Amino acid sequence: MSGVLRIERAGPVMTLQDLGRPGLIGQGVSVGGAADRLALLEAAALLGLARPGASIEMAGSGGTFVATAPMRLALTGAPMRADIDGQALAWNAVHLLSPGQRLTIGGAREGTYGYLTPAGGFDVAPFLGSVSAHLAAGIGGLLRAGVDLPLGEDPHPGAPATRLDVPGRFSGGTVRLMPGPQTDLFDAAVRARFFATPFRRGPQANRQGMELLHDGPGYTTAAASNLASDFIVPGDVQMTGAGAPFVLLCECQTIGGYPRIGTVLAEDLPRLAQAPAGAPIRFRPVSLEEADAVWRDEQEQLAALRARVRPLVRDPHAIRDLLAYQLISGVTCGDDLERT
């Protein structure tokens, strides 16, 4: 029996996300899916899944959860305060939530999007090949308190707990920009100034896009006034109105009329999407050849992550009832701490 995951309390923007719906550009629907796709790959690696499943994406803060059946889960993406019945949990790790226990996920310590991924995924009907909410397109909606999400079957229910060392990508930084169809509309001097400018993430940001702030004049092109609406992809940096940069993310419109200076590499989109308000952001230009050379398929990325997964060893100081454990006698299968 797989049971359900009950949401007792929900943060303000919690949604179900998988890798989205590629192939619907012609119907005006962008790919959507997790804002930080890497976090889903990390969860799949931690849980030993063949491919990424569905997660609860938590923007800014999480919620409170109980399960009606034992449930292995991975916590990835923006690190958030998390505990089970008051016992603090490591982030980027796998934990067991047993019936009667309460999982509490608080605010993000850094970054924006945290992910709770059950090992068996969610047993909910996909729409057009995905369970992702696409808020901009009106597909699915926010997860709210009181919702019961049916859990899928865990393919490895007895697997030992694991952890992953994840290099930080949660406080902004430099992202690489490849040329796009409209890059050449911007004068070389405007482009040079763009790449020399330190930006910071503005207060306006959601799954559709992110406002960037900077001091000084905007980045305009003479072609902007009479440009036909053309295709947009996640990662495009468009110049609205007076030349203020705005980065388009997973739920972007599929076509738009503002000129775009280039496209952030898919490899760097997790860093960008995770940047909290005020975080510093800079752009580094890369050639088309360099962009294509560093690209890696997501299955390949998953395989590389799997090779870095380690057993989760609990810090004895974090175990409240340490003395209750038999620490030396007997033979164990190594996952006792997970079965408490």
Residue closer to other proteins by CB (options 25, 190) is 25
Cβ 25 to other proteins shortest distance, Å: 5
DSSP 126-145: -BTTB---BTTTTBS----T
Calculated CA dihedral for residues 106, 125, 205, 233, nearest 10 degrees? 140
Q: What letter would DSSP give residue 51?
A: S
Nearer to other proteins (CB atom), residue 92 or residue 182: 182
> Shortest distance, CB of residue 236 to other proteins, whole angstroms?
8
Residue with tokens 């996300």: 17
What three-state secondary structure class fits 340?
Answer: coil
Pair 199, 281: CB distance under 8 Å: yes
Going 237 to 238 to 242 to 243, the CA torsion angle's sign is: positive
Round to whole Å and give the CA distance between 219 and 239.
7
Considering the complex, state which of residue 91 and residue 283 has its C-beta at the smaller distance from other proteins.
Answer: 283
Q: Which residues bind other proteins (CB under 8 A)?
A: 22-29, 127-128, 137-139, 178-181, 185, 223, 226-231, 233-236, 253-257, 263, 265-266, 288, 291-292, 295, 297
Least distance to other proteins, CB of residue 211, Å:
17
- Alpha carbon 113 to chain centroid, angstroms: 5
Between 69 and 139, whose beta carbon lies closer to other proteins?
139
β pairing state of 63-67 and 4-10: antiparallel
Residue closer to other proteins, measured from CB, 124 or 319: 124
Q: Which is nearer to other proteins, 227 or 337 (CB)?
A: 227
Would you say 104 or 132 has its CB closer to other proteins?
Answer: 132
Smallest gap, in angstroms, from Cβ of residue 231 to other proteins? 5
Angle between helices 298-306 and 37-47 (to 10 degrees): 40
CB of 146 to other proteins, least distance (A): 22
Fill in the DSSP letter of residue 44: H
Smallest distance from other proteins to CB 63, Å? 25
Minimum distance, C-beta of residue 51 to other proteins, in the bound complex (Å): 14
Rounded Cα distance, 192 and 187, in Å:
9
Residue 242 C-beta: closest distance to other proteins, Å: 15
CA–CA gap between residue 130 and residue 142 (Å, rounded): 16
Task: Between 112 and 254, name the residue whose CB sits nearer to other proteins.
Answer: 254
Q: What is the rounded CA–CA span in Å between residue 329 and residue 158?
A: 22
